[in-house]
Chain A
C-alpha cells in the first residue's frame, strides 16, 4: 500500500475517534457541572479539565481567558481555529478520506462526507441548550463510521491502518481522561463512597461508556482503585488501555512488513505490561507517574509507526531498494 494512503487512512480514523472522544469529554464535563461543587471558582476548576485532557488549554486561554462552560464548549466543539475541535477533526477526517477516495468504500466516504456537510449545518444553528444532542450525534456518527467500515471494507491492510489509528487514539485518550480526572477528583475525596463522590466517579465512567460495565464486573461501590483497573488493565472494557492494545497488536501483526520491527517490539512490550500488570503495582508507583510513562511510550510508538510505514523519506528505503531494482 502507498505510504501516503496508509497515512491518510490512519489519520482519518484517528480524527473520527478524536471527535468522538472530545464529544464524550464535553458531555461528561456538562454532567459534572450539574453537580454542585462547594469550591471557590468551581466553574473554572471543572472546565479546565476538558481543555487539559485534549491539550488545548493554551490556545483557549489566549482566545478566551478563564475557562467558562459556554466558551469551552464552543471552543472544543465548533471552533475552526482550534485544530482539535470536533469541527476541525471532522474536517480533517474528510480531507484524509478525500485524499484516498479509492482506498475506502463509497459507503465510508458517504458517512464521512455527509457528517462533514451536516456539522457545517449544525455549527450554524448550534443551540447551547441542546449541546448534549450534538454530542450524541457526534458519537453516533463515529459508531456509524466504525460499523460501515467493518461492514464494507476488504479485510486487508487498509483496515489494519484504520484500526491502528482508531485504537492508538482511543488508548491515548483513555489514559488522558483518567490522568486528568483522577487528579481533579482525588483531592476532593474526603468521604469515599459519599454521594458527590459517587456522581463524580460515575461521570468519569460514563465518559467511556463504562458505568454499567463497572457495576456488572465489580458489583460494588465505586472505588478509585477499581476505576483505574477498569480503565487500564481490564481487557473486557472496550475503551481500556489493555483492550486498545489487543487491537493495536493484532493490526500490527497484519501489517507486518520488513521495516516495522521496532514498532512491533514496542507495541508488544506495552501490551505485555498491560496484560500482566497488577493495579496494586500501578498505585505503588503512583498512577500519575504510570500514566505519564504510558503516554510517553505512546509518543514513541506513534513516531516509530510514522517512520516505518507512513513516511516517504527515500533514505529510509535505500536498503530494501537494492532488492527490487
Chain B
C-alpha cells in the first residue's frame, strides 16, 4: 500500500521533468549514447569478478549458511567537490565530539555533571565499560575508525542516521567497488576526475601506527578477526593484506606478563596494535563473556596496562547507542563550542510517556528501531509494513517501551540504479569511514548502499540492499 502523502523524493541525478543536475551531466551524456544492453552486460561482468575474487559475505540465519555476493550496482553515486567539503566538515566535527565524549565519560564525566546527559543513562548502558574508567588512550581517541551513516533528503539537507563506533564494516566494498568500476568503465574515469579512495588502507595503517603505545617505536600491527566464518571475513583479510600486516585469530595470540604475543613458526612475537574486528563482549573471556573462544585471555589487562592498543578502543558502544545518539548535537556544542553542521533525525524515545503515546498512534508513518539493534534486524518500517506486522510490532514495543526509539520515515534521496527494466531511481544512504589518529581524516567518498526493491527504504545488505561506487568529482 502506498502512503498517500508520499513525500517528493530528492532525485540526485534529475531535477524537474528532464533536467540533469550539473554533477551528473557528463555521466548522463555518456549514458545517453550507450548501446542497449551494455550496462546489463557490465553488471554480469562485475558479478563474475566479485565471485572470482571471493568478495562474499555470510548472512546470519540463512539456512544454507552459504556465502553470498552483495549486489553491486554499476551506476555510480556522484557528489560535487563543494557539497562533499561541507559534508566532510560535518562528519569530522561529529567524530571529534564523539571521541571527546568517550574520553569524558571515562574520566571527569563533565557532560554528566553539566546535566546534559543523564548519568544513569551512561553508567547503566550495556556498552559502558567500568573497566575503562581512568584509562588513558593514545591521542585520547576511542573510536579510531568510525562509520557515520547519512541520508540526504534535499539539495542541502543531510541527516545522520547512526554513528557506528564499534567495528564498522563495509570499507572493503568501497574499495572493491571503485576497482571494479575502473575496470569496467575506464572511459568514464578518463573524461572526468574522480577523487581517489584507494589510499584508504595506507591512511588506516598510519592511523594504527599513530595509535600505538607511546613507548613503542616500530609497532607490530595485526588485524584480529573472529575467523573465516564471520560475515565480514573477506574485509578483515582484505584490509590485513592491503596494509601488509598479519591477520590473526584469538587462538594465534596469548598474553604473558601483561604483554601480547602471537604464535609464529619462529616462536612468540610481540604485538603492539590490534585492529580488532571482534566485539567487546568476546575480547577477553577472563573479563567479558567467559564462553568466548574468539578472544584472548588476559587481553584487557594488557590493554589497560598500556602495553597494547586495541582499535577501536573498549567501551565505545556506549556512544553509538541510539539513546546517546540523541545528545550528539549537544556534545558538539559542549566539547567543541561549535554549531553542529549535520543534523540528527528527529527521534522519539519510547521510554518517555508522551513520545510513546504519539508513536503508538502513528506507527504506520514511522520507523521504529531497537535501541541496541543494528544492521536493520528487528526494525519496523511503518509505511511498507502490513497491518498485521504493525500490530505484532506494537506488542513488542509495549513489552519494553524504553528499548525502542522511533523516527519519521525519511524521504531518502534516490539515485539512478540499474534494474531489470533499465535505469531507475532507487533510495540510497551513505557511510563514509572516518579515521582518527593524531588527526581526523577520511577519503572522499564512502560506501553508498542502495535499496534495490522499488520504493524500499531499507538499504542494509542483510535485507537485500546493494552497494554503489561513490564519486566525489574534482572541481
| Chain B residue with the shortest CB-CB distance to A255 | B265
Q: Is the interface of A mostly helix, strand, loop or mixed?
A: helix
Q: A321 and B261: CB pair below 8 A?
A: yes
Say yes or no for B259: interface residue by CB 8 A criterion: yes
Assuming the A-B contacts A258-B267, A312-B263, are A102 and B240 also in contact, with contact meaning beta carbons closer than 8 angstroms in the complex?
yes
Q: A117 and B257: CB pair below 8 A?
A: no
- A residues within 8 A CB of B300? none
Say yes or no for B391: interface residue by CB 8 A criterion: no
The stretch among A105-113, A186-194, A295-303 that forms the contact with chain B is: A105-113
Say yes or no for A324: interface residue by CB 8 A criterion: yes
Assuming the A-B contacts A3-B264, A113-B52, are A325 and B257 also in contact, with contact meaning beta carbons closer than 8 angstroms in the complex?
yes
- Of the candidates A101, A255, A324, the one whose C-beta lies within 8 Å of that of B270 is A324
In the bound complex, what is the Cα–Cα distance between A70 and B237 (angstroms)?
41
In the bound complex, what is the Cα–Cα distance between A259 and B259 (angstroms)?
22
- B residues within 8 A CB of A44? none
- B residues within 8 A CB of A312? 251-252, 263
Say yes or no for A36: interface residue by CB 8 A criterion: no
In the bound complex, what is the Cα–Cα distance between A222 and B450 (angstroms)?
68
Chain A contacts with B in 81-136, Cβ cutoff 8 A: 95, 98-103, 106, 109-110, 113-114, 117
Q: A324 and B238: CB pair below 8 A?
A: no
Minimum CB–CB distance for B257 against chain A, Å: 6
- A residues within 8 A CB of B264? 1-3
Say yes or no for A45: interface residue by CB 8 A criterion: no
Q: A113 and B54: CB pair below 8 A?
A: yes
In the bound complex, what is the Cα–Cα distance between A310 and B248 (angstroms)?
14
| Chain B residue with the shortest CB-CB distance to A98 | B228
Q: A4 and B252: CB pair below 8 A?
A: yes
Q: B246 and A2: CB pair below 8 A?
A: yes
- Of the candidates B53, B252, B269, the one whose C-beta lies within 8 Å of that of A324 is B269
Proximity string of chain B (233-268) to chain A, C-beta cutoff 8 Å, 1 when within and 0 when not: 110011011000011110110101101011111111
Q: A320 and B249: CB pair below 8 A?
A: no
Q: B265 and A106: CB pair below 8 A?
A: no
Number of interface residues of A (CB under 8 A): 35
Number of interface residues of B (CB under 8 A): 32
Say yes or no for B51: interface residue by CB 8 A criterion: yes
Assuming the A-B contacts A2-B246, A4-B249, A101-B241, are A95 and B268 also in contact, with contact meaning beta carbons closer than 8 angstroms in the complex?
no
Chain A contacts with B in 298-325, Cβ cutoff 8 A: 309-312, 314, 317, 320-321, 324-325
| Chain B residue with the shortest CB-CB distance to A95 | B228
In the bound complex, what is the Cα–Cα distance between A312 and B268 (angstroms)?
10
Minimum CB–CB distance for B204 against chain A, Å: 14
Say yes or no for A41: interface residue by CB 8 A criterion: no
| Chain B residue with the shortest CB-CB distance to A105 | B241
- A residues within 8 A CB of B51? 117
- Of the candidates A114, A257, A314, the one whose C-beta lies within 8 Å of that of B265 is A257
Minimum CB–CB distance for B367 against chain A, Å: 37
Chain A contacts with B in 225-258, Cβ cutoff 8 A: 255, 257-258
- B residues within 8 A CB of A148? none
Interface centre among A102, A113, A114, A117 (most CB of B within 10 A): A102
- B residues within 8 A CB of A257? 265-267
Say yes or no for A157: interface residue by CB 8 A criterion: yes
In the bound complex, what is the Cα–Cα distance between A309 and B265 (angstroms)?
5
Q: B53 and A110: CB pair below 8 A?
A: yes
In the bound complex, what is the Cα–Cα distance between A99 and B248 (angstroms)?
10
Q: B263 and A3: CB pair below 8 A?
A: yes
Proximity string of chain B (165-203) to chain A, C-beta cutoff 8 Å, 1 when within and 0 when not: 000000000000000000000000000000000000000
| Chain A residue with the shortest CB-CB distance to B257 | A325
- A residues within 8 A CB of B268? 317, 320-321, 324
| Chain A residue with the shortest CB-CB distance to B234 | A101
- B residues within 8 A CB of A324? 261, 267-270
Q: A320 and B241: CB pair below 8 A?
A: no
- Of the candidates B233, B234, B238, B265, the one whose C-beta lies within 8 Å of that of A6 is B265
| Chain B residue with the shortest CB-CB distance to A311 | B263
Proximity string of chain B (255-287) to chain A, C-beta cutoff 8 Å, 1 when within and 0 when not: 011010111111111100000000000000000
Minimum CB–CB distance for B248 against chain A, Å: 6
Minimum CB–CB distance for B229 against chain A, Å: 10
| Chain A residue with the shortest CB-CB distance to B247 | A102
Minimum CB–CB distance for B392 against chain A, Å: 39
In the bound complex, what is the Cα–Cα distance between A109 and B248 (angstroms)?
19
User: Nearest 4 CB-CB pairs, A to B?
Assistant: A102-B241, A101-B237, A320-B267, A3-B263
Give A residues with C-beta under 8 Å from B.
1-6, 95, 98-103, 106, 109-110, 113-114, 117, 157, 161, 255, 257-259, 309-312, 314, 317, 320-321, 324-325
Given contacts A98-B54, A314-B254, 20 further A-B contacts (CB under 8 A): A1-B265, A2-B246, A4-B249, A4-B252, A95-B228, A98-B228, A100-B247, A101-B237, A101-B238, A109-B53, A110-B53, A113-B53, A157-B265, A257-B266, A258-B267, A259-B267, A310-B265, A311-B263, A321-B261, A321-B268
- Ordered by A's residue number, 13 sampled pairs between the chains whose C-beta atoms are within 8 Å are A1-B264, A4-B263, A6-B265, A100-B247, A103-B241, A113-B52, A117-B51, A157-B265, A161-B265, A258-B266, A309-B265, A317-B263, A321-B256
